Amino acid sequence: MTDFEMIKEIKRLKIEKNAIILAHNYQVSEVQDIADFVGDSFGLSKIAYESKATTIVFCGVHFMAESAKILSPEKKVLLPVKKAGCPMADMITGESIRNFKADNHGVPVVCYVNTSAEVKAESDICCTSSNAVNVVNSLDSDRILFVPDQNLGNYVARQVPEKEIILFRGFCIVHHRVEIEEVDEIRRKLPDVRILAHPECQPEVLEKSDFVGSTSQILKEAKKSSDMEFIIGTEIGMLHVLQKENPEKKFHILSLALVCENMKKTSLKDVYEAIKGDKYEMTLDESLRIRAKKSLERMLEIKE
C-alpha cells in the first residue's frame, strides 16, 4: 500500500469509526500531517475530552494516551505503538511517593503530567510545563515535593524562591542531553538569534537562553515576535510545527541530540493499523483512574 492509499484509507476509517487523530508536537512530520490536532500532551487530552468522537488515536507516548483515558473513560483511546514510552515517566513509581509521604507528613506532592496514572493518583496535584509555577504558587505549604523532572522543578524553584522545592532526581533523557558547549557554539555562529528553550533542559542551558517555555509557549513566542530567526531548545519535531505555522521565519535546532526515540516510533503505517484494528486500547483500573483524575482536576482549577 502506498502512503497516498494509506492516507486515503485512514481518512475513510476516521469517518466510519467516528475517530479523531491527535499527534504530539514531537511526532514525525507525516504523522503530524495526518492528525486532526497537533499539540502538547495535556492540550491534546483536553481536546480528546471535549471531542464528540468515540475513538481517539493518540500518537505520542504511553502516559499521554493514559492521561486522555483518565479524562475520557467512556472513549476508546488507542496508542498506535505499544512500546512508545517515556523514560522520564518510568523513573518514578507510586511507591516512591508513598514512601516520601510517610516520612514527610503534610508536604504536598506536585507531579508533572509526564507521569503514570499511579504517580498521578499518589500526588496532590498535577502540572504542565506551562502552569508549573502557578500550580506551586497555588499551594499553601512552604515545602513541596516536585516530581519527577529535576530540571523543570529547578526552574520552578527559581521563580518561587520563598518556597522550598524538594526535587526528585528524574530528568528527560532528551532535553537533559543538551550541553552548555553546544549553546556557546551556536551563539558564536548565530550571535543575534534568540534561543527559546524548554524548561526540561539543564539549568545552565536555561540561564543562557533568552526565553524559557513549554512547547505551546515557544510556539506563541515565535508567532508574536518580530524576529525572523530562532534557535529552538526542545525536541526536533517542534520545528515542523513552527515552520508550518510561520512559513516566513527560520528555525534552527539548538542541539542535534534533541531527538526523542520514543516519539519517533510511530509511523504513518502504525496510525493506519491502529485505526483499522483498534490497536492498542488503553485500559485503566477504575479506582486508580478516579484517584489520578483528582490531581488533574485540581490542576484545571488553576489559571495558566
Residues that bind ligand SF4 (CB under 6 A): 26, 61, 86-88, 114, 172-174, 235, 260, 262-263
Q: How far is the CB of 198 from ligand SF4 (least distance, A)?
A: 9
CB of 60: closest distance to ligand SF4 in angstroms?
Answer: 8
Indicate the residue among 19 and 58 with the shorter CB distance to ligand SF4.
Answer: 58
Query: Measured from the CB of residue 137, what is the shortest distance to ligand SF4 in angstroms?
Result: 23
Min dist. Cβ of residue 45 to ligand SF4 (A): 15
Query: Smallest distance from the beta carbon of 173 to ligand SF4, in angstroms?
Result: 5
CA 94 to CA 211: how far, in whole Å? 33
For ligand SF4, the closer of residues 133 and 238 by Cβ is: 238
Task: Give the contacts of 211 (CB within 8 A, at least 6 positions apart).
Answer: 194, 195, 196, 197, 218, 221
Q: Residue 52 CB, nearest distance to ligand SF4 (Å)? A: 28
Q: Which of 259, 65, 89 is nearest to 168 (CA)?
A: 89
Rounded to a whole number of angstroms, the minimum distance from the CB of residue 81 to ligand SF4 is 12
- CB-nearer residue toward ligand SF4: 121 or 260: 260
* Nearer to ligand SF4 among residue 6 and residue 27 (C-beta): 27
Nearer to ligand SF4, 193 or 270 (CB): 270
Between 86 and 193, whose beta carbon lies closer to ligand SF4?
86
Nearer to ligand SF4, 61 or 197 (CB): 61
Are the C-beta atoms of residues 197 and 220 closer than 8 Å to each other?
no
